[in-house]
Structure 1
C-alpha cells in the first residue's frame, strides 16, 4: 500500500471527535471562562500569584498521567530544550500573565474585542516567519469573523463600539495577542517532537520556572498574598484544569494538524462563548445580535478552513 493510501485510510478511520477543527472549538470555550473568572479573581490576587498557583496546580494534576511519558521522552526534551523553553515562556509564562494584568485595568469587552486581532496577527507572523502567503479566502474568512465579533461586542449597534473607552490594559492585551501569535507559529515552525501529554507538562514547567522567581520578588518587595477561601479554591481549580490543561492540549493538537493560521480563526468564537456563559451563570439574556454574530463567525471559519484545505491539497499534489 502506498503512503498516500495509508494516509487516506488513517484519515477515514479517525473518529469524528479527533478532527482538528472540532478540537479547535474547545480552547475558546475554556478561555471565555478564564476571562470571566480572571476578571473577578484579580480583584483579590495579583496576576503573578494567580499565574503561579494556576500552573503549579495544573502540573500537579498532570504529572500522575504524564510523568512516565516525560521520563521516556527526556532525551528529546534535552535535545530541544531551548525551543521548548521559549514556547513555555511565551504561552504559560507571558500570555496569561499579560491577560490577567490587562483585566486589572480594562473590561472583558475590550479584551474580547482586542482578541479579534489575533487571527490576523497569526497570519502576519506566519507570513514573515514561515513565508506562508495567506490566501484570499483566508483573509476574507478573518474579516468576516471579525465582523461577527464586532456585531456581538457592539450589541448590533455601531455606536456602542465607537463609545468603548480605551484603558491602560488594552496595550497589555495587544502585547498578549502578539505573544500568543508568536507561540502558535513557533509551535508550527519548531515542533517539539513530543507526545501531547509530555509536551504540555514540560511546557507548563518552563512557564512556571519563568514566573516563580518574578513572584518571589513581588512577594518579598510589595507582598502578594494568596487568599485561601472556598471561592478562590474553585477559581484555582478551574483555571488549572480548563484553560490550562484542556485548552492547551486541544490548541497544541489543532495547530499541529490544521496550522496556526486556520487555528487562529477559531479564537473569534470567544465572545460567543462568553455570552453563552453569561446567560448560564450570570442570568443574562440572548439577543438577535448573538445569533447574527455566531453565523458570521462560523461563516468566516468555514471560508478560511476551506481555503486552507485547498492550499494543502494543492501543495500535496
Structure 2
C-alpha cells in the first residue's frame, strides 16, 4: 500500500542502534550455530529454536491462530513463506555451520541481494539496470572469493567445503522468500502487526521444520547432548536472532527506509568476524576483507540511481 511518508528519514543515533542490533544478532546466530554443531543436529536445532520462539511470541500474537482470523483463508501463502524463510533457510544455515565458519557463512549470505536481482528478473519480470548488473558482478566476485578461499586455482578445481554450498542454497531460498514476501497481500488482521505476521509464518515454518527433523532422525543423523550450554544457546537464538532482531529491523527500516537498511545488513560479516575471533579463535584472513569490500561495493553500486 502506498504511503504518504517519505521513504527515508534522517538517521538518528536511536535508529542506527536499531539497524545495527539486527546484524549483530544474526552474526551471533552464526557463531552459536557453529558452537552448537557438536551438541545437536542442525535441523533439530532449527526446530527447537522456532518452537521456543513460538512459545515466547504466543502471548503477543495468539489471536492470529483463532479459527476466524485472516490467517486461514490465506494459509497456502504463509505455508510457502514458512517453508522458505523458517523451515529451509535456517536449517540450511545450521547445516552449513557444521563444516564452514561463521565468517564464511555470513559473507556468502551477504550475496543475497544479487540472487534477489536474478530471481526478480527471471520469475517476476523485474527490470534490471546497468548499475545493478555491475553491482551484481562485483558482489558475485566477493562470494567467489569466499568460496575459493582466495585461491582461484582452488575454485577451478571445485574444492569447495560442503557448508559453503549449503549456504548458497540457503541464500537462494532467502532471495525467493523475500520476493514472495513483498508480493504477498496481507489480511487486515495481520497487516502492520509484526508479531502476528511472524506468527503466521512461524506456525507453518515450525511444521515444515518438524517434518525435516523427522527425516534427519530417520537417516540416523539426529543427536543431542542435553545440558546448560545447549539450553543457553537455544534461549539466545530464539530471543535474539528470531524475535529481537526481527523487531529491531522492522522499526529501523520504517524510520530510515530500506536503502539505508541495506547498508547496515552488510555489517553481519564484520560482526561475525569479531565474534568468531572472540569466541571461536578463528582469525579472519586477507581474502575475507577483499570479499567484504567487493560485496559491499557491489551493493552500493546496485543501489545508485541511473
Q: How many pairs were matched up?
A: 296
Deviation at 1:244, TM superposition (A): 1.4
Query: CA 1:62/1:18 → structure 2, altered by over 3 Å: closer, same or farther?
Result: farther
**What is the rounded CA distance, in whole Å, between the counterparts of 1:212 and 1:287 in structure 2?**
37
Please list, as runs of the form range in 1=range in 2, the aligned pairs for 1:195-210 lying within 5 A after superposition.
195-210=193-208
| Paired position in structure 2 for 1:315 | none
TM-score between the two structures when normalised by the length of structure 2: 0.76
Alignment counterpart, residue 115 of structure 1, candidates 109, 118, 121: 109
Change (3 A) 1:178 1:293: closer
**Aligned to 2:93, which of 92, 95, 99?**
99
- Equivalent residues of 1:59, 1:205 under 8 A apart: yes
**Could you tell me whether the CA contact under 8 Å between 2:103 and 2:276 is conserved in 1?**
no
In structure 1, runs of 5+ residues without a counterpart are: 311-317
Deviating more after overlay: 101-110 vs 141-150? 141-150
Alpha-carbon shift at residue 241 of structure 1 (Å): 1.7
Aligned counterparts of 2:11 and 2:142: Cα–Cα separation in 1: 30
- Once the two structures are superposed, residues 143-196 of structure 1 have per-residue CA deviations (whole angstroms, 9 ceiling, x without a partner) of 555667788x69xx954x655741233332221111111101110111434221
Distance 2:36 2:242 in 1: 16
In the other structure, the counterpart of 1:130 is 124
Report which stretch shifted further, 24-33 or 284-293: 284-293
- Match of 2:97, SS? helix
- Correspondence 1:153-302 to 2 at 5 A: 158-159=150-151, 163=154, 165-193=159-187, 194=190, 195-216=193-214, 218-219=216-217, 222=220, 224-249=222-247, 254=253, 268-282=266-280, 300-302=298-300
More deviation, 174-183/114-123: 114-123
Counterparts in 2 of 1:171 and 1:150: CA distance versus 1, 3 Å: closer
Give the Cα separation in 2 of the matches to 1:104 and 1:217: 18
CA contact (8 A) 1:39 1:100 kept: yes
Q: Check the 8 A contact 1:41/1:232 in 2, yes or no.
A: yes
User: Is the counterpart of residue 50 in structure 1 residue 50 in structure 2?
Assistant: no
1:83 maps onto 2:77 in alignment: yes
- 8 A contact 2:107–2:291 mirrored in 1: no
Question: Do the aligned partners of residues 149 and 124 (structure 1) sit closer, same or farther apart at CA in structure 2, a change above 3 Å counting?
Answer: closer
Query: Higher RCO, 1 or 2 (CA under 8 Å, sep at least 6)?
Result: 2
1 CA distance for matches of 2:45 and 2:284? 31
Distance verdict in 2 for CA 1:137–1:217, change over 3 Å: closer
Contact 1:145 1:296 in 2 (8 A): yes
Query: What secondary structure is seen at the aligned counterpart in 2 of 1:99?
Result: helix
Q: Is the 8 A contact 1:118 1:267 kept in 2?
A: no
Change in 2 beyond 3 A, CA 1:297/1:177: closer
Q: What is the match of residue 313 of structure 1?
A: none
- Structure 1 residues 72 and 211: alpha-carbon distance in aligned structure 2, compared to 1, 3 A threshold: closer
1:16 CA displacement? 4.4
